[in-house]
Amino acid sequence: MEGNENKFKKYAPKIVIPILIVIAIGAIFVLKARQQQDINGKGGSVTDNIGGNTEEPDNNSSDFALHVEDVLDLDKLKSYGLPIMIDFGADYCPPCREMKPTIEKLNKELKEKAIIKYVDVEKLPKVTQDYPIRVIPTQVFYDKDGKPFKPADPNALGMYMYSHRETNEHLFPGS
């Protein structure tokens, strides 16, 4: 009988410790998944919020929908008298994917207070032709009057300012 007890004492840690490690890893995974769901404000798997369009349809107006599907009618958006942010990115871009949950949350929180748009530069190259996109992600900002946002100190914010060559009129802010 003592031989069996010695074997148990000898092998128990070799069995119990790996089992506890697997349980701990599983618990961490579940907690992280729940945190991500809470951050995004909805259920579903974590991978749902990384890749495709997870936006809920807006019953009021497609003008407040996050994703630009075909054409970006900037004049119509400016007519709402709200600040506008246009985010240019792509699914293959790691920083764009990293920003996506934040942009989605911002769009939800500011619905009808600001217009947040996401343009996939790969899927909608015609939309991006009117903007000075050098790298992605790039954001373009307009104030509530429909004029390009002009910060007091663009260099401190890391923003590029684009002006018309002949008139020196401020055209686009971007970051």
Q: Could you read off the pLDDT of 81-140 as tens digits, one per residue?
A: 999 999 999 999 999 999 999 999 999 999 889 999 999 999 999 888 878 788 899 888
This prediction has a pTM of 0.58
Question: Which residue do the tokens 């663009």 mark?
Answer: 154
In the prediction, which pLDDT does 121 show? Answer: 92
Classify residue 57 by its DSSP letter.
P
Alpha-helical (H) ranges within 41-150 are 74-78, 94-109, 125-128
- The catalytic site residues sit at 93, 96
pLDDT tens for residues 42-90?
A: 444 333 333 333 333 343 567 888 899 888 888 899 999 999 999 999 9
Domain chopping of the chain, boundaries: 2-48, 56-174
Place of tokens 């600001």: 114
Which architecture does CATH list for 56-174?
3-Layer(aba) Sandwich (3.40)
Residue 138's Cβ-count burial label (10 Å; 0-12, 13-18, 19+) is buried
